[in-house]
């Protein structure tokens, strides 16, 4: 491939964004960075801009960098995501802020490397329909969905998706242990290094619940054909079962560099940042077990919200997120996240086909009510 891939990174200062820049630095002759965007970490954004020299930088605070055009706020984000110079946009922000830039890029026919769960959890039906109409590829960055993407040759021949879960820090702990867990214990993930919110979601297995909803939308797969299996070693990143009974899995040592690189260079493969070469004999064993649906009720909540459809998944996502923030702030216990989220879901009147504006309004309403419930 001679032509450079022109890329913008929405959320370059976060965990995925910084690792994406490490990938790009290793493959710098393959990429041209059009834009970098960040939130409140202005110092890091400036460092990145001075090192990689994008055409544009956007943040939610005013900054000046000589020789680089600086943009501001959501308008700046939308301008970057409308720029048809881009071959691909990596959406690496967390939270609902990722939804509108993703839609703007799709409207402009720009392919997406998607690392933002909320985009599909909140508005999967709308996003995937618009991508189909625009002929836009959405390549998943999550290690599980990226693994499934790599395994599928012909979607119509797939019988089942198998999403793996490490089980998090409480896999072999009791419900009582979880009820008394500290923030530090919840953040002590045994395999992956991630942001605080997603690490708590991994501890409660809500992260896996949200991934079930994402997989449904990405691969147009009914919920009855999406399984979760606990795999503590995090070597098998996910698998698929074909209609003939054969199972294809994607394996590798835990490293987000690999799925990030896969997504932003797709369909090419290059020798970029590799973990050490994989050895079956060194790994020696791979364990698998059914998830404990009683200890981790988030899985049933996600299946239920996903099957209900419409605004049910908006409610699940918003209530859980506010509860996680309250836990991180020391306002509630870890296990309260489940009861708060469940109460919000039980009281929510589902709108079957909400518009984007309605989705944002519902999201805001649920957050306000969740905070009131927490108080």
What are 55-83's pLDDT values in tens digits?
999 998 888 889 999 999 889 999 999 99
- For 132, other C-beta atoms within 10 Å of its C-beta total 12
The answer to whether the CB of 78 falls within 8 A of the CB of 60 is no
Residue 353 lies in a domain: no
For the chain, which ranges sit under pLDDT 70? 1-2, 189-194, 275
Residue 32 lies in a domain: yes
What residues contact residue 172 under an 8 Å CB cut-off, 6+ apart? none
For residues 83 and 159, membership in a common domain is answered with: no
258 part of a folded domain: no
For residue 190, what is the DSSP state? S
- Specify the pLDDT at position 354: 97
DSSP 250-294: EE--S-THHHHHHHHHTT-----S-PSPP-HHHH-----B---TT
Q: What b/e sequence results for 166-182 when a residue is b if at least 16 CB atoms lie within 10 Å of its CB, and e otherwise?
A: bbbbbbebeeeebeebe
Among 140, 164, 190, which residue terminates a domain? 140
Domain assignment present for 266: no
Residues 41 and 133 in one domain: yes
pLDDT of residue 1: 46
In degrees to the nearest 10, what's the CA dihedral of 312, 314, 315, 317?
120
Tokens of 211: 């991934």
Residue 344 lies in a domain: no
Residues 100 and 189 in one domain: no
Same domain? For 109 and 25 the reply is yes
- The answer for residues whose C-beta is within 8 angstroms of residue 207's C-beta and 6 or more apart is 198, 201
Give the span between the Cα atoms of 127 and 124, in whole angstroms.
5
Question: Do residues 168 and 155 touch, judged by C-beta distance below 8 A?
Answer: no
Query: Which range marks the domain in which residue 155 is found?
Result: 145-248+280-308
**Is 234 part of a structural domain of the chain?**
yes
Residue 371 inside a domain? The answer is no
Both 120 and 150 in one domain: the answer is no
For residue 112, what are the contacts with CB-CB under 8 A and spacing of at least 6? 88, 89, 91, 102, 105, 106, 131, 136, 137, 138, 139
Distance in angstroms (rounded) separating the CA atoms of residues 120 and 102 = 10
- Do 130 and 196 sit in the same domain of this protein? no
CATH number for position 36? 3.40.50.720
Q: So what's the pLDDT on residue 191? A: 64
Residues 106 and 201 in one domain: no
Is there a single domain that holds both residue 193 and residue 293?
yes
Residues 6+ apart with CB under 8 A from 47: none
In terms of domains, do 289 and 159 share one? yes
Q: What is the pLDDT of residue 195?
A: 72
d(CA 317, CA 253): 29
Same domain, 105 and 243: no
In a shared domain, residues 226 and 289: yes
Residues 48 and 165 in one domain: no
Picking from 125, 140, 155, the residue at the C-terminal end of a domain is 140
| Beta pairing class for 138-140 and 111-114 | parallel
Alpha-carbon span 344 to 266, nearest angstrom: 39
Pairing between strand 88-91 and 111-114?
parallel
Dihedral of CA atoms 300, 302, 244, 154 in degrees, nearest 10, equals 180
Say if 270 falls within a structural domain: no
Q: How far does Cα 253 stand from its chain's mean position? A: 19
**Among 262, 291, 308, which residue terminates a domain?**
308
Our count of domains for the chain comes to 2
Q: What are phi and psi of 107, to 5 degrees?
A: -55, -30
């Amino acid at each position: 491939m001679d032509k450079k891939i022109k890329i913008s990174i929405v959320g370059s200062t976060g965990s995925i964004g910084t690792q994406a820049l490490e990938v790009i630095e290793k493959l710098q002759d393959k990429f041209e960075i059009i834009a970098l965007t960040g939130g409140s970490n202005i110092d890091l954004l400036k460092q990145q801009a001075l090192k990689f020299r994008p055409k544009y930088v956007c943040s939610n605070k005013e900054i000046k960098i000589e020789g680089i055009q600086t943009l501001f706020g959501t308008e700046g984000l939308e301008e970057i995501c409308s720029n048809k110079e881009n071959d691909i946009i990596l959406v690496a922000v967390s939270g609902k802020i990722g939804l509108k830039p993703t839609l703007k890029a799709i409207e402009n026919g720009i392919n997406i490397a998607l690392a933002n769960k909320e985009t599909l959890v909140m508005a999967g039906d709308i996003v995937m329909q618009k991508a189909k109409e625009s002929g836009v590829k959405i390549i998943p960055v999550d290690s599980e969905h990226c693994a499934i993407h790599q395994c599928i040759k012909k979607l119509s021949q797939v019988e089942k998706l198998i999403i793996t879960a490490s089980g998090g820090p409480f896999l072999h702990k009791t419900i009582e242990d979880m009820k008394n867990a500290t923030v530090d214990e919840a953040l002590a993930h045994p395999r992956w290094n991630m942001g605080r919110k997603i690490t708590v979601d991994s501890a409660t297995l809500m992260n896996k619940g949200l991934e079930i909803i994402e997989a449904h939308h990405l691969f147009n797969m009914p919920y009855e054909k999406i399984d979760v299996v606990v795999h503590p070693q995090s070597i098998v990143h996910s698998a698929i079962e074909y209609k003939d009974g054969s199972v294809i899995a994607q394996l590798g040592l835990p490293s987000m560099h690999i799925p990030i690189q896969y997504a932003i260079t797709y369909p090419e493969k290059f020798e970029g940042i590799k973990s050490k070469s994989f050895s079956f004999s060194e790994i020696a064993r791979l364990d698998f077990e059914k998830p404990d649906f009683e200890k981790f009720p988030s899985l049933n909540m996600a299946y239920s919200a996903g099957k209900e459809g419409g605004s049910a998944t908006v409610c699940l996502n918003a209530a859980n997120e506010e509860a996680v923030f309250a836990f991180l702030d020391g306002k509630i216990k870890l296990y309260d996240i489940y009861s708060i989220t469940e109460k919000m879901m039980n009281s929510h009147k589902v709108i079957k086909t909400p518009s984007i504006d309605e989705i944002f309004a519902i999201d805001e309403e649920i957050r306000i009510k969740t905070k009131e419930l927490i108080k």
